[in-house]
């Protein structure tokens, strides 16, 4: 096991070196009091584990760990700290272990054993042919990410999940870290928010590494960008809408894909603008199909499904209410006419306390008068 030691206090480095020399199969490949120099030398050193002090001048251990992951996400990090409060933060970044100073020999041996078990663990290889597959993300209604075996990815924290969704949401442009902080931790003080960002980026890299994704996040000039191939329900929706093709198969796909608004249940404030834009695009697409297929018998059922979906998306739109009621009147579907008019009554009179438009009342009365 090749080990790198980083601590701004020289005596602490010497003590750790002496203790590690007493343990078999440990090779110390470097000692540093300057973390910036250590980070630079990582490009040429082959390292399995870094023993890292949490509190160092110039860079916090959490930020350093995130930068290590950026360079080589196969390196394990073991934090060494004199401050018990940092122990929780060490586990928050998914460090393999942490040690409190002064470090005892039994505690060090336990940590080394844990590291060896981790390093000898062989991760699940991708199945044959999986290299051509993509991860799949569901963004409509609620965000879910499926791995290469079609298992849902488990997120360590809600913020890790949100960070992935936010980076994908902004996939066309690298995002400056200050913008990420403003959107994800708007109520935190700057120093704490920066620490949380590095913690969450580190967690996200680890999570994606575990499902077989190498170098998933690119950092350039304090701008982050997600670098993975991902198919999603949103991209499928966008392709259909932009194609402007109104065939029934594509309409059926939209009705299936639009299971709810974009990230509706996740309550991410930054998603609201696109959520509304996508909804309006879908409504326009479905309206085009309804108008163009209204009198085509083979599309009668699908037109009804479109109008019902449209009313679900825009529940107080009186024009859609009229179209849906008219559709079932023309089909002479009395049960559906009653159901739709009852729904209109509930929404307008009971919920909004406004009168039902005259044209809707007249349409309903005309239908039942001729029965």
Nearest-angstrom CA–CA distance, 98 and 111:
8
What CATH number should be reported for the domain whose range is 2-120?
A: 3.40.50.2300
Which DSSP category does 154 fall into?
P
CA distances from 124 to 150, 212, 353 (A): 14, 8, 59
Name the band, by pLDDT with cuts 50, 70 and 90, for residue 92: very low
What DSSP character marks residue 58? T
Please state, for a pLDDT cut of 90, what percent of the chain lies above it. 60
* For the chain, domain boundaries: 2-120, 131-228
Tokens of 349: 């009179």
Share the mean pLDDT of the chain.
Answer: 88
Q: What is the 3-state secondary structure (H, E, C) of 246-271?
A: CCHHHHHHHHHHCCCCECCCCCCHHH
- Total-model pTM: 0.77
Q: Which two tokens stand for residue 250?
A: 């594509």
The two beta strands, 49-53 and 217-220, are: unpaired
Q: What is the dihedral of CA 337, 343, 345, 346, to 10 degrees?
A: 160
Q: Topology of 131-228 in CATH?
A: Arc Repressor Mutant, subunit A (1.10.10)
Pseudo-torsion of CA 97, 98, 103, 106, nearest 10°? -20
Strand order in the sheet with 175-176: 175-176, 223-226, 217-220
| Token pair recorded at residue 155 | 């997120």
Segment 93-135, tens digit of pLDDT: 444 567 888 888 988 998 888 888 777 754 444 443 444 567 9
358 or 101: which carries more pLDDT confidence? Answer: 358
Domains 2-120 and 131-228 share a fold: no
Report pLDDT digits (tens) over 297-344.
888 999 999 999 999 999 999 999 999 999 999 999 999 999 999 999
């Amino acid at each position: 096991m090749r080990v790198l030691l980083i601590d701004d206090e020289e005596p602490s480095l010497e003590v750790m070196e002496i203790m590690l020399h007493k343990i078999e199969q440990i090779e110390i490949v470097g000692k540093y009091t300057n973390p910036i120099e250590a980070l630079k030398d990582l490009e040429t050193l082959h390292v399995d584990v870094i023993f890292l002090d949490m509190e160092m001048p110039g860079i916090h251990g959490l930020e350093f760990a995130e930068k290590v992951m950026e360079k080589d996400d196969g390196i394990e990090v073991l934090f060494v700290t004199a401050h018990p409060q940092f122990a929780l933060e060490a586990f928050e970044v998914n460090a393999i272990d942490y040690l409190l100073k002064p470090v005892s020999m039994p505690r060090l041996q336990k940590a080394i054993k844990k590291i060896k078990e981790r390093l000898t663990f062989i991760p699940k290889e991708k199945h044959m042919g999986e290299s051509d597959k993509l991860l799949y993300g569901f963004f409509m209604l609620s965000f879910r990410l499926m791995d290469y075996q079609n298992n849902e990815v488990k997120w360590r924290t809600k913020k890790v999940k949100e960070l992935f969704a936010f980076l994908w949401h902004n996939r066309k442009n690298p995002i400056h870290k200050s913008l990420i902080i403003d959107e994800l931790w708007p109520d935190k003080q700057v120093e704490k928010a920066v620490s949380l960002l590095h913690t969450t980026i580190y967690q996200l890299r680890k999570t994606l590494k575990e499902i077989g994704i190498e170098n998933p996040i690119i950092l350039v000039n304090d701008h982050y960008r997600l670098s993975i191939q991902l198919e999603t329900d949103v991209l499928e929706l966008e392709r259909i809408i932009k194609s402007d093709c109104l065939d029934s198969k594509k309409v059926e796909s939209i009705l299936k894909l639009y299971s709810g608004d974009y990230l509706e249940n996740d309550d991410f404030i930054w998603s609201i603008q696109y959520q509304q834009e996508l909804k309006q695009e879908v409504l326009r697409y479905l309206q085009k199909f309804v108008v163009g297929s209204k009198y085509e018998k083979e599309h009668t059922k699908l037109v009804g499904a479109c109008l019902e979906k449209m009313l679900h998306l825009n529940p107080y739109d009186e024009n859609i209410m009229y179209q849906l009621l008219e559709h079932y009147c023309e089909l002479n579907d009395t049960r559906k006419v009653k159901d739709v008019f009852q729904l209109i009554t509930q929404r307008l009179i009971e919920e909004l306390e406004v009168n039902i438009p005259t044209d809707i009342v007249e349409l309903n009365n005309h239908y039942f008068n001729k029965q």
